[in-house]
């Protein structure tokens, strides 16, 4: 017996009483904004590589700038997500994230096959995103309960990553990269499913969540490709 609320025109409502049309609109806006957010990310990475800004900072300063900047901008996004400033703030955040990514991109570009490794990481990230997006559209089960476990996993990754900043263990870095790919791939599935089920009704918040997952998957793939597939010039 279907206990979902039904609208007057017969369309089923999703989580929190959202209609099918509303859910589709949020999902469509999320995809469009996600695609747009890649532009400032690429610009930020290009600027960082061209100017050497990120590499000019010491690792300790870079870590502090990343933590303060990323969490500060994420807080600003949540504060402005229901206003006209929400999209510009999100795009400023993605530019900043691209700038921070430029340190890793610059290192990989310094390898003999660096450009091809970046394209491989890009293709791999795209394949994972498309796979999770397709999976989210066919799975009927409510996946919202897995969010807390994924969040715990992400926090543990962050803590371990900060610890490895001091330990400098290559084995731990490889392990964390593999775990990050798995956890954030699952996050993509979870976040898109929440939109499709009507539990997330703000497309800026939805875009932020999916963007962060894509960013971490790409960064982890690029690090692994650089370690195992890099060729000296």
Produce one character per residue of 6-17: b if its CB has 16 or more CB atoms within 10 Å, e if not: eeeeeeebbbee
Q: How far is CA 28 from CA 9, 32, 109, 129, 178, in A?
A: 22, 6, 34, 15, 30
- Alpha carbon distance 86, 231 (integer Å): 42
Angle between helices 170-196 and 114-138 (to 10 degrees): 40
Per-residue confidence in pLDDT tens, the chain, 233 aa? 333 333 333 334 445 566 788 889 999 999 999 999 999 999 999 999 999 887 888 888 998 999 999 999 999 999 999 999 999 999 999 999 999 999 999 999 989 899 999 999 999 999 999 999 999 999 988 888 898 999 999 999 999 999 998 998 999 999 999 999 999 999 999 999 999 999 999 999 999 999 999 999 999 999 999 998 867 76
Map tokens 């890009």 to a residue: 122
| Cα dihedral 102, 124, 199, 6 sign | positive
Determine the pLDDT at residue 217. Answer: 97
Tokens of 143: 């996946």
Q: With contact defined as beta carbons under 8 Å apart, do 210 and 204 qualify?
A: no
């Amino acid at each position: 017996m279907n206990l979902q609320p039904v609208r007057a025109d017969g369309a089923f409502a999703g989580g929190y009483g959202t209609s099918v049309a509303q859910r589709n609109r949020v999902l469509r806006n999320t995809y469009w904004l996600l695609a747009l957010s890649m532009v400032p990310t690429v610009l930020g990475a290009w600027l960082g590589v061209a100017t050497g800004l990120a590499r000019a900072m010491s690792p300790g300063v870079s870590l502090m700038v990343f933590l303060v900047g990323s969490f500060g901008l994420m807080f600003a996004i949540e504060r402005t997500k229901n206003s006209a400033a929400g999209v510009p703030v999100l795009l400023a955040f993605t530019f900043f994230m691209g700038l921070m990514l430029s340190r890793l991109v610059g290192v990989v570009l310094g390898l003999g096959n660096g450009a091809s490794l970046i394209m491989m990481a890009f293709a791999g990230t795209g394949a994972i995103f498309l796979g999770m997006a397709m999976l989210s559209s066919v799975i009927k089960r409510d996946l919202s309960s897995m969010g807390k476990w994924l969040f715990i996993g992400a926090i543990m990754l962050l803590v371990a990553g900060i610890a490895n900043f001091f330990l400098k263990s290559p084995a731990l870095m490889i392990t964390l990269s593999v775990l990050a790919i798995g956890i954030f791939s699952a996050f993509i599935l979870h976040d898109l499913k929440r939109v499709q089920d009507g539990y997330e009704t703000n497309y800026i918040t939805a875009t932020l969540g999916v963007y962060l997952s894509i960013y971490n998957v790409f960064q982890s793939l690029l690090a692994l490709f650089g370690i195992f597939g890099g060729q000296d010039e």
